[in-house]
Amino acid sequence: MQVSVESGEGFERRVTVELPAEQVEQEVTKRLKQIGRTAKVDGFRPGKVPMGMLRRQYGGHVLQEVYGELIETSYRDAILQEGLHPAGQPKIEPKTSDDESVFSYVATLEVMPVIDSPKVEGTLKRPVADVADSDVDEMIEKLRGQRVTWSPVERAAADGDQVKINFKGVMDGEAFEGGSADDVPLVLGSNSMIDGFESGLVGAEKGGSLTLELKFPEDYRVEELAGKPVTFEVEINEVAESELPEVNDDFAKEFGAVEGVDKLKGDIRENMERELEQRIKARIKSQAMDLLVESNSTEVPGALVDEEITALQEQTRNRMSTGVPGSSMELPREMFEEQAKRRVILGLLIAEIIKQNEIQLDADRVRKTIEEYAASYEKPEEVVEHYYGNHEQLAAVQNVVLEDQVVDWVLENAQVEVESTSFSALTDEG
């Protein structure tokens, strides 16, 4: 086997492989003989079919089969011989030659980039925060809001009240689809309706009716209505004020704290502290990954970016079609290009850091991570057992832990500043 390599633009390589034609012929003849042992041809017994007839009947198919297998094995041997590290699949093209003694082809491929020792340049801010009593109180208020009840009142509606209304929307003198409904509950100030609708109902009373002259936002989700003036005829069926439950032992039991309010507050604090830890960890990891990319400018093969774009398209399709695979939704590749390139760069940098620093997976950290995932479930021990019994889910956690170990390496090599913040500031980021 003769191999030559020609460098193209960027990461492209053209690998020319030449094999003796005699090798191809020997393999074709060998397979035709095997076929001849059982081939049924009119006028001949199995094993007695002439080679010439076997070639005419089966030769084309066998030759293509031999070509395919020889290309596969010789390509693999060629890249090993030349020390190439392909990024993606090659494009194989036969090479025409006047020399009938050789069979040759050209494999065009991209190779993996050579990454120098990854470095970290810049500052990373480590958030520091505690769960304050006021944070717990605010969470309890949110839980009270989930148990709100409404009591009808005989007075004008105020901000924060719930009204039940019939409404009819008219545009250009005609009602439009989706613009009318009856006995709809609406909390004034909830921003559920377009600007001016809810504020226009403040002061309205049960049994009253009014007309609202409004305009749909320019960026309204229904293109036909965006930016258009609209008239709503509204009838008030009921005005009700909110009643929040008292924070007592009965209230605590509704949220699983059968021991009472103190237990509820303890559970809430524990959950919030767990969430705070996760938010801080996520913020640090995000900064560490950004710092890695910013500190290590590198180009990457288009083949790897294309593969990542395809994966992101599929993930997005599944997410948008409620997890049903095979969606025909067309998503432009351009919208994923920047994200895909960043993910490829990060993957290469992380792999190189792990290799150069001989980072070994921390099994204890894997278990701790799984136990943290399981802590919010009713039977955490069963969740832990499930992870260790599922190869794919366990591998996913192991990858996360390896990334976290790389984050530790970044923290060791970056300038780190402490940033005082609060629970609400971290969680309000979404």
Q: What's the CATH number where 61 sits?
A: 3.30.70.1050
Mean pLDDT check: name the lowest of 15-19, 24-28, 233-237, 397-401: 24-28
Candidates 145, 151, 159; CA nearest to 203 is: 159
Per-residue pLDDT reduced to its tens digit, 126-135: 999 999 999 9
CB proximity list for 187: less than 8 A, separation 6 or greater: 160, 161, 162
Token readout for 71 is: 């290309």
> Of how many residues is the chain composed?
430
Q: What integer pLDDT is reported at residue 298 of this predicted model?
A: 86
Decide if 19 is inside a domain. yes
Q: What integer pLDDT is reported at residue 188 of this predicted model?
A: 97
Query: Mean pLDDT for the chain?
Result: 91
Average pLDDT over residues 171-198: 94
Same domain, 231 and 377: no
Q: Say how far apart CA 107 and CA 258 lie, in whole Å.
A: 70
Q: What integer pLDDT is reported at residue 208 of this predicted model?
A: 96
The CA distances from residue 19 to 105, 106, 230, in Å, are: 9, 12, 77
Decide if 128 is inside a domain. no
User: Residue 312's domain spans which residues?
Assistant: 261-427
Is pLDDT above 80 for 429? no
Same domain, 276 and 386: yes
| Crossing angle for the helix pair 334-356 and 302-320, to the nearest 10 degrees | 120
Q: What integer pLDDT is reported at residue 33 of this predicted model?
A: 85
| Confidence grade of residue 328 (pLDDT, cut at 50, 70, 90) | low
Using an 8 Å Cβ cutoff, are 38 and 46 in contact? Answer: yes
Provide the number of structural domains found in the chain: 3
Higher pLDDT, 428 or 152: 152
The CA distances from residue 69 to 74, 110, 344, in Å, are: 8, 22, 31
Per-residue pLDDT reduced to its tens digit, 19-54: 988 888 888 888 888 888 877 777 777 777 788 888
Is pLDDT above 60 for 322? no
Q: Say how far apart CA 236 and CA 244 lie, in whole Å.
A: 24
Among 53, 80, 110, where does a domain finish? 110
Is pLDDT above 70 for 325? no
Query: Three-state SS for 336?
Result: helix
Average pLDDT over residues 227-253: 95
Q: Say how far apart CA 407 and CA 281 lie, in whole Å.
A: 10
Q: What integer pLDDT is reported at residue 262 of this predicted model?
A: 95
Is pLDDT above 90 for 7? yes
What share of the chain has pLDDT > 90, as a percent? 73
Same domain, 279 and 371: yes
Is pLDDT above 60 for 430? no
Same domain, 387 and 302: yes
Candidates 91, 88, 90, 87; CA nearest to 113 is: 87
What share of the chain has pLDDT > 70, as a percent? 97
Side-chain-side CA neighbours of residue 316 (13 Å): 15
Same domain, 305 and 421: yes
Is pLDDT above 60 for 326? no
| Confidence grade of residue 143 (pLDDT, cut at 50, 70, 90) | very high
Decide if 58 is inside a domain. yes
Q: What integer pLDDT is reported at residue 21 of this predicted model?
A: 87
Strands 149-152 and 229-243: antiparallel
Query: Three-state SS for 41?
Result: strand
Per-residue pLDDT reduced to its tens digit, 244-298: 999 999 999 999 888 999 999 999 999 999 999 999 999 999 999 999 999 998 8
Decide if 130 is inside a domain. no
Higher pLDDT, 376 or 209: 209
Per-residue pLDDT reduced to its tens digit, 408-420: 999 999 999 999 9
Q: What integer pLDDT is reported at residue 5 of this predicted model?
A: 96
Per-residue pLDDT reduced to its tens digit, 58-90: 778 888 888 888 999 999 999 999 999 999 899
Same domain, 169 and 293: no
Which CATH number fits the domain that encloses residue 391?
Answer: 1.10.3120
Same domain, 266 and 197: no
Average pLDDT over residues 324-329: 54
Q: Say how far apart CA 62 and CA 21 lie, in whole Å.
A: 15
Q: What integer pLDDT is reported at residue 254 of this predicted model?
A: 92
Same domain, 239 and 360: no
